[in-house]
Structure 1
């Protein structure tokens, strides 16, 4: 009769949470194995036995990040009554997350900064998760069209790409130590672009013509 393997002598969930915070602070390549094992309170053999590899650990850490920290932001999309309110709430929650977490930025944005060719799989994985977040915002904007608070011909993809770019930029600003006030001003400026972004072709044409008359 084959005996059972020895039970783990560590809390897997706690170890994974510690790994997430280490990757969040240093990125994938910056987080050394020694830093990870020290933070997780385990040795290298236990890490490999439990998670398979550093990349496997990182993927699980990203999944945990999405299920916890990032979920706070994405939940704002469904809760807000209008598409505009959803985008504004998402930006505000992003700023809250960035400042509450000690300005570490977003793991999905900073996790693979300057990734080397041998870690292309990590980059591709994060790129896919970032696309999923943008897709969620696009879906919320389509809901706005269906509910009548966005014009039927609104360029959902471009609008979503613009605000996701703002969110990613805020993450970099947070990493550089920007204050909540400074990031809020950026978010406010981004929301000032809302009317221009959702304008119909006829409205855009009229605005262009008006600017031309002013120049003359």
Structure 2
């Protein structure tokens, strides 16, 4: 809960905004955007609705901040994967990172960015569009990495970077959905490994 900081009488109660945002990430990750009620969010964050609005803005703005935090934290494996020395290494790291992130013990299963607005109504259109852009941006980053691999001779000249990027990201999103459905880490990793057995090599 919020704790009163020392200072003049009447000073607003303070709280650890960073820790509160981390807890909001977990709520959105588990329940999605619409499934996360304000009461659930503020209870998990340990703050009042007034404090939430004052610090983070409305629910959609809070979700945007939570998605940024998720991308920098649990979702950071994507950026690291793109730094791998070969396209196959990158693809392997993306799928392995997805499996690990979506099946972490004591964390929500699945991916915040995939499940966040799957059932969003018209009122959640902004969040649905935000997440579509988030997923497309990730695919674009993978595409650019694979295009560089073609230019460097790591992938054969006839390889299609856009198709390969869509293939890998679609697999990653599918893994996330399967993880949210309760499929175990080992089974998902076997599927990821099988998907890369016919990877085009130079």
TM-score scaled to structure 1, two decimals?
0.84
Give the structure 2 partner of residue 159 of structure 1. 164
How far apart are residue 182 of structure 1 and its match?
A: 0.7
Compared with structure 1, are the counterparts of its residues 69 and 28 closer, same or farther at alpha carbon in structure 2 (3 Å cutoff)? same
Correspondences of 1:1-216 after superposition (within 5 Å): 6=11, 9-78=14-83, 80-101=84-105, 102=107, 104-195=109-200
Counterparts of 2:25 and 2:103, CA distance in 1? 17
Compared CA separation, residues 10 and 103, structure 1 to 2 (3 A):
closer
Cα distance, 1:176 vs structure 2: 1.1
Q: Deviations over 1:149-179 (max 9, x none)?
A: 1123321111100110100000011111111
Contact 1:82 1:149 in 2 (8 A): yes
Q: Structure 2: which 5+ runs fail to align?
A: 1-9
Aligned 8 A contact 1:76 1:90 in 2: yes
Compute the TM-score of the two structures, normalised by the length of structure 2: 0.90
Shift in Å, 1:103: 5.3
State the 1:7 CA deviation. Answer: 5.2
| 1:72 Cα deviation after fit | 2.3
Distance 1:99 1:57 in 2: 24
Matched residues in 1 for 2:12 and 2:27: separation? 25
Q: Secondary structure at the match of 1:100?
A: coil
Runs of 4 or more above 6 Å deviation: none
Specify every segment of 5 or more residues in structure 1 that has no aligned partner in the other structure, as ranges. Answer: 200-216
The aligned length equals 193
Contact 2:23 2:45 in 1 (8 A): yes
Cα distance in 2 for partners of 1:114, 1:141 equals 32
Which structure has the larger Rg over C-alpha atoms? Answer: 1
Check whether the contact 2:30–2:108 (CA below 8 A) recurs between aligned residues. no
How far apart are the structure 2 equivalents of 1:193 and 1:131? Answer: 24
Once residues 30 and 161 of structure 1 are traced to their aligned partners in structure 2, the CA distance between those partners, rounded to angstroms, is: 28
SS in 2 for 1:108: helix
Greater fraction helix:
1
Across the aligned residues of Structure 1 and Structure 2, the Cα RMSD in angstroms comes to 1.9
